[in-house]
Structure 1
Amino acid sequence: MRSEQRVEARSALKYISAPHKLYQTSSFQHLPHTPTTNMAELDRIPPSTTTYVIATAIIAGVSGYFLGQGASLGLFSSKEKEGWPNSYNVKVHRGSSDEEDETEEEEESEEEEGDGSELANFENNNEEVKLVLVVRTDLGMTKGKIAAQCSHATLACYKYLVANPSSSTILRRWERQGQAKIALQTKSEEEMELLQAQAISLGLCARVIQDAGRTQIASGSRTVLGVLGPKSVVDNVTGHLKLL
């Protein structure tokens, strides 16, 4: 009897001295196991294709923005580009069709004389005023030469109208309307002379440029005819010509 009481006392002391063991064995051993996701496993999951696409788009957009800002500020411009057009630092490449000998003198052209008596004022004509530049293609002029001769013809027409106040109205209209200009072609000096005669007979400003002959063509060659006046009147003279 006493031995049984001693066994029970020892068992009670064992439970009292180690309650945590009783708690573990009596409570958690019978709970169902719930699966959980480890954070380390989440870190190992590779990014999806959508994530790559979104990241690439963001990087491209940010890079494009900053590149555009840098270009607008001139950070990527070369030194030669910075000098244009203020310094006119233009290089002529060897072998180009517009290359000229640097030792040649400045090009000069001559204008025909006139008193302006042939000019009409076109007071009753409210059409657009334009300037037609008729260029001879049989002379074989380069693009640069043609541009220079057309500039001479434009200035010749302007100066001729300024020097004759009776036709100042047509000149002011041309300036006010934006100075419309068009370049056409002719293949012979004879046709150019005929066009000039027709323009003069209609009261138009018609000026022919004669080259000084210091660069490409013979001296005294007639290169460009400038005709300025109301559109319909000018078209009566040059309407059949082809564009340059």
Structure 2
Amino acid sequence: MYALGATLFLAGFASGYIARWWRHGCMNGEDDDLSDIDENDAVHEGDTSDALPEECKMVLGVRMDLKMDKGKIAAQCGHATLGSYRSALRLCPEYVRTWQKLGQTKIAIKIPDEEHLLQVRDAARKLGIPAQIIQDAGRTQVAPGSKTVIGIGPAPNSLIDQLTRSFKLL
């Protein structure tokens, strides 16, 4: 149980740290302007209703057949968080706004193998949800080019749950 808590803590910490670092313009000199993402913005442009938007989350699916240690998992989850976030900024900025307003929820799940990882990615694309697969450089624990983690979202909980409800939490 201790290992699970430590893994989730490390994954969350690394993901948040990397996203914050990138947001402040330190990643490769790229400057994606997020100044238009204001906490007071409506989720949908022109939406004047008082209804709250559906909560959004990001899910990080970790391949269990690779037997990565918790530090490797944390690093790969950080890469997946950043990649999925950047994709979401382009594909569905309204989901990013909602996700940022409502706490930036991130969930880690167990993906049994590469086949399931690719199935989840394909299903996410059909639903219009950002999905980023991370391929490892192979310098430490896994073979070069191994698909280690998938970042899914941020997107509405109901959409992501369609893809991930059958997998166990990490």
For residues 123 and 53 of structure 2, the distance between their equivalents in structure 1, rounded to whole angstroms, comes to: 21
Output aligned runs, 1:1-244, within 5 Å: 126-162=53-89, 164=90, 167-228=92-153, 229-244=155-170
Q: What is the identity, as a one-letter code, of the residue corresponding to 1:210?
A: Q
Q: What is the identity, as a one-letter code, of the residue corresponding to 1:160?
A: S
Q: Aligned-pair distance for 1:126?
A: 2.4
Identity percentage of aligned residues: 47
For residues 88 and 118 of structure 2, the distance between their equivalents in structure 1, rounded to whole angstroms, comes to: 20
Q: What is the identity, as a one-letter code, of the residue corresponding to 1:223?
A: T
SS of the counterpart of 1:149? helix
**Higher RCO (CA 8 Å, separation ≥ 6 residues):** 2
Q: What is the identity, as a one-letter code, of the residue corresponding to 2:163?
A: V
Q: Deviations over 1:136-179 (max 9, x none)?
A: 010010000000000000000112223x1x52111111111110
Q: Aligned-pair distance for 1:127?
A: 1.0
Q: Deviations over 1:62-121 (max 9, x none)?
A: xxxxxxxxxxxxxxxxxxxxxxxxxxxxxxxxxxxxxxxxxxxxxxxxxxxxxxxxxxxx
For residues 168 and 192 of structure 1, the distance between their equivalents in structure 2, rounded to whole angstroms, comes to: 24
Uncovered stretches (5+) of structure 2, i.e. residues with no partner = 1-42
How many residues matched?
A: 121
4+ long deviations beyond 6 Å: none
Uncovered stretches (5+) of structure 1, i.e. residues with no partner = 1-121
Q: Aligned-pair distance for 1:192?
A: 0.5
> Normalized against structure 2, the TM-score is what?
0.68
Mapped contact 2:120–2:163 kept (Cα < 8 A): yes
